[in-house]
Structure 1
Amino acid sequence: MNEPQKSGLPGNDFQDPLEDYEPPEYSDPVEQALGEETVSSMKVTPYTSIAPDTTIGDAIQQMAGMHHACLLVADGDRLVGIFTDREIVDRVALEYDDMVSRPVRDVMTTDPVYVHGEDTLAAAMCVMAVSGFRHVPVLTEDGRIEGIVSPQRVSEYLHSRTGVL
């Protein structure tokens, strides 16, 4: 008599790939925190957002007054762009007099790279490293702005959590 099949595949040679799964072993507390802690577990606020029709001059004044390197550009609680010190240097500085009264939507980065609060710290650091951005917006699963993550915030969190760094 034939034995029942273990899967929908022909034959009885199916092996569950997770059968021998062993949880990762970490070499130190920083590595463990990066691999297990989520972005939402750290401080992702404060952040500052502006409307897309905010003038470039007003946005720059806000950034300078708060000593921030970026502003999230939002339509309500939805991220539509990011305005950073890079945009100021690359797109505004040489033509400042002509640009100062234009809306930030003209020079912001549209569709910015972002992470979710449920992503691990390692995933957030990877996004920053691969994309080349120091500040990455944090969104909820339904797309609302939750905050912003930066290498400095990750470093401060890891230090407070592990005592290292």
Structure 2
Amino acid sequence: MTSRRPFPADSGEFHDPLENYDPKEYDDPLEEALATQPASAIQSTPYVGVSPDTTIEQAVKKLSGLQVACLLVEEDEKLVGVFSDRDLLDKIALEYEAKKHLPVRDFMTSNPNFVYDTDSAAAVLTVMAVHGFRHVPVINLDHKIVGIASPYRITSFLRSYFAG
């Protein structure tokens, strides 16, 4: 039989490995903001939401009339999809007359990538960069829509942290 060395927990004392942890110090205010500010610090409202039953024609009118590039598709205040100008161009444009009476649910991006409002601001940029999205939905921990991060809104956030 081999003997085992006692783990710290076996000795009856707990030693928190983070008790002597010093938080990272940042030289750059932008780097610090991206790491420490939550996604909710990026303006994400207003946003335009539609139901999955909204027709393509109605969705196009909203996109055009409100001059937005993206609609959040929601049921019971929860995100179920995204319908963007890309969806319109890639999936509908050449057959618009035949498809304009169909529901958005048939053409939206289902189960879209999103960030929680408590995630870091850097998480928004990561989703954009890794997945190639221009718009990232922001939801809360109850999965209710908070808003949407767009290139303009992110640029405004970043600009506020540039030195000088």
- Same fold flag (TM > 0.5): yes
TM-superposed deviation, 1:23: 2.0
The AA in structure 2 aligned to 1:7 is A
Check the 8 A contact 1:158/1:164 in 2, yes or no: no
Q: What is the SS of the residue equivalent to 1:7?
A: helix
The AA in structure 2 aligned to 1:6 is P
Runs of 4+ in 1 over 3 A off after TM superposition: 14-22
Residue deviations 1:105-154, cap 9 Å, x none? 01000000010000111111111111111111111101111111123212
Check the 8 A contact 1:137/1:147 in 2, yes or no: yes
Distance in 1 (alpha carbons) for counterparts of 2:27 and 2:90? 41
What residue in structure 2 maps to residue 92 of structure 1?
A: 92
What residue in structure 2 maps to residue 32 of structure 1?
A: 32
Residue deviations 1:18-50, cap 9 Å, x none? 355332232311111111111112311000000
What residue in structure 1 maps to residue 121 of structure 2?
A: 121
The AA in structure 1 aligned to 2:30 is V
Distance in 2 (alpha carbons) for counterparts of 1:116 and 1:18? 26
TM-score calculated relative to the size of structure 2? 0.87
The AA in structure 1 aligned to 2:9 is S
Identical aligned residues as a percent: 46
- When residues 48 and 164 of structure 1 are mapped into structure 2, their CA distance, relative to the original with a 3 A threshold, is farther
What residue in structure 1 maps to residue 8 of structure 2?
A: 6
Distance in 2 (alpha carbons) for counterparts of 1:152 and 1:58? 25
TM-score calculated relative to the size of structure 1? 0.86
The AA in structure 1 aligned to 2:95 is E
Check the 8 A contact 2:40/2:117 in 1, yes or no: yes
Distance in 2 (alpha carbons) for counterparts of 1:29 and 1:150? 21
Aligned CA RMSD, in angstroms, stands at 2.3
Structure 2: unaligned runs, 5 residues or longer: 1-5
